[in-house]
Structure 1
Amino acid sequence: MTTPSLFPYAEFDGHPATEADLRIPAFLNYGHFTAMQVRGKKVRGLALHLARLDSANQELFERALDADRVRELIRHALDSAGVRDASTRVHAFLPPGDTETTVMVTVREPAQKSAEPHAVMSVPYARTVPHIKRPGEFGQTYYARLASRAGFDEALLTLPGGVVTEGAITNIGFWDGTSVVWPDAPSLLGITKALLEQELPGAGLESVRRPVTLDGLTAFRSAFLTNSQGIAPVRRIDDIEFTVDEELMKRIGQAYDRAPWDTV
């Protein structure tokens, strides 16, 4: 049995990764994945993760991905790594000539998104098939690194005309004083975003989707980022400053905390 000191840990279809297994992601980047934070062997929005994996698998490989099988593979990897808290990813591949989907589960140290206000740099980039979460996205990595070198914390992907879509590894939401506004544009529906869309109305916060453009950002008071590691406020996008509304962030955080934890 491995220990946390041996992170990261990976299994393929329930067995420790071999050199032959690792050739699959090394030479085949056609696949999909989901990323989650596990605490006490529980995950927020687990059903959404499993549904996203199955939907992507059917679209890419024309094969269902059984939810019970995936749950068992996650449990097995956590048990083998000897941990209950972790950053976990589930990757799916269909190697040439195979008829069954290969599932890789990776286990790393738990992570929490920094709550420090983020600076975001807009970039002209649109992901191919953005509704599917895929490994090896060169453009996302390139622009995220470019933003970092320029002193920013995240890149904001935009379409022609300055249409805002999503962050390089995040979703972005805006606050106009009355509603949380999510950009209505092709993007990945992150699990944290999906949970917030479910929970915000119960917290007294209207949640809507509508088009957002760079030249219209001054209409918003505040903004925030979400991904599997949590939620963080935005202090500026390019040279546009946003109010870091601590009360708003508290209410959004409380809404997210209402989302139940599901046992793997």
Structure 2
Amino acid sequence: MTLPYVEIDGRPADAENLLVPALTGGYGHFTAMQVRDGRVRGLAHHLTRLDRANRELFGPALDVQRVRSLIARALAGSGQTDASVRVYVYGPAEAPTPMVVVKGPAEMPSTAQSLLSVPYERPVAHIKHLGGFAQGYYSRLAQRQGFSEALLTGPGGVIAEGAITNIAFWDGTSVVWPDRPALLGITKAVLDPRLAAYGLKSTHREVTLAGLDAYSAAFVTNARGIAPVGRIDERAFAVDAELMKVVWRAFEEAPWDVIDPG
């Protein structure tokens, strides 16, 4: 699959209605998921994310069961059962419109990721909103310098999140997520409550660039999966194979939810 397949409000997109999102001023929200065999991990988290963001940005609740049907419809229209799917909701406020975009499936690289810290934090960080110019800018800056991704930081080098990931650290006893305004990624939302059952404690606390020596390993998560971190700036991290084995297992054994409600 090369070009994306797009449906807007349940209808295949054409040249005319594809112009509408460009005219909304970048005001809206979305979620991104990996679909395999018509299923997705954390479907309820995706639908809750869309509903909460819709209430905050536009006022009314979102008909999440209709959105679920729209995802299933777009997958059927694309002819794909394995795919990357994004669901966008954009203005105007009196009639927010859902758009489903279907592309080929994607996986997180299995190699250790390198992160370049940058002095930026996402505004309204708890919402997966449109208009991520700064994230794209800093991601390209990082890649031009040989890094995989940008690491977003606040005053004093406090760590928030990756440009397109959540990040977690290992202090030898617990998985530590930065206690800073950030998007709750769906992979993190699925993974974190499962860690205890696999023998891993987890917590949230402030993490700073200056305090990275307190941690022996790190990993990042997003819709594509989980990957170890090998470097933040010039600070190298060893890949903890045993830790990653348990983390991957905790996530891989999470159930897949059927999208098509039938």
Which interval holds the TM-score relative to the shorter structure? over 0.9
Question: 1:208 aligned to 2:203?
Answer: yes
Which residue matches 1:52?
A: 49
What letter is aligned with 1:155?
A
Counterpart pick for 1:72 among 61, 69, 74: 69
CA distance in 1, matches of 2:85, 2:64: 16
CA distance in 1, matches of 2:258, 2:179: 32
Question: 1:229 aligned to 2:227?
Answer: no
- Cα offset for 1:16? 0.6
- Cα offset for 1:27? 2.5
CA distance in 1, matches of 2:100, 2:216: 40
What letter is aligned with 1:153?
S
Question: 1:62 aligned to 2:59?
Answer: yes
2:115 and 2:150 in contact (8 A); partners too: yes
- Cα offset for 1:41? 0.6
Which deviations, in whole Å up to 9, do the C-alpha atoms of 1:2-28 show, x marking residues without a partner? xx45x3110001111122221122232
Which deviations, in whole Å up to 9, do the C-alpha atoms of 1:104-141 show, x marking residues without a partner? 00000000010100111000001110000012211100
CA distance in 1, matches of 2:6, 2:241: 39
CA distance in 2, matches of 1:84, 1:129: 33
Which residue matches 2:184?
A: 189
* Aligned-pair Cα RMSD in Å: 1.0
2:119 and 2:153 in contact (8 A); partners too: yes
Which residue matches 2:8?
A: 12
Question: 1:173 aligned to 2:168?
Answer: yes
Which residue matches 2:253?
A: 258
Which residue matches 2:31?
A: 34
What letter is aligned with 1:256?
F
Three-state SS of the structure 1 residue aligned to 2:156 is: coil
Identity of aligned residues (%): 58
CA distance in 1, matches of 2:94, 2:29: 17
TM-score normalised by the chain length of structure 1 = 0.96
TM-score normalised by the chain length of structure 2 = 0.96
What letter is aligned with 1:51?
T
Three-state SS of the structure 2 residue aligned to 1:19 is: coil
CA distance in 2, matches of 1:26, 1:100: 16
Structure 1 stretches lacking a partner, 5+ long = none
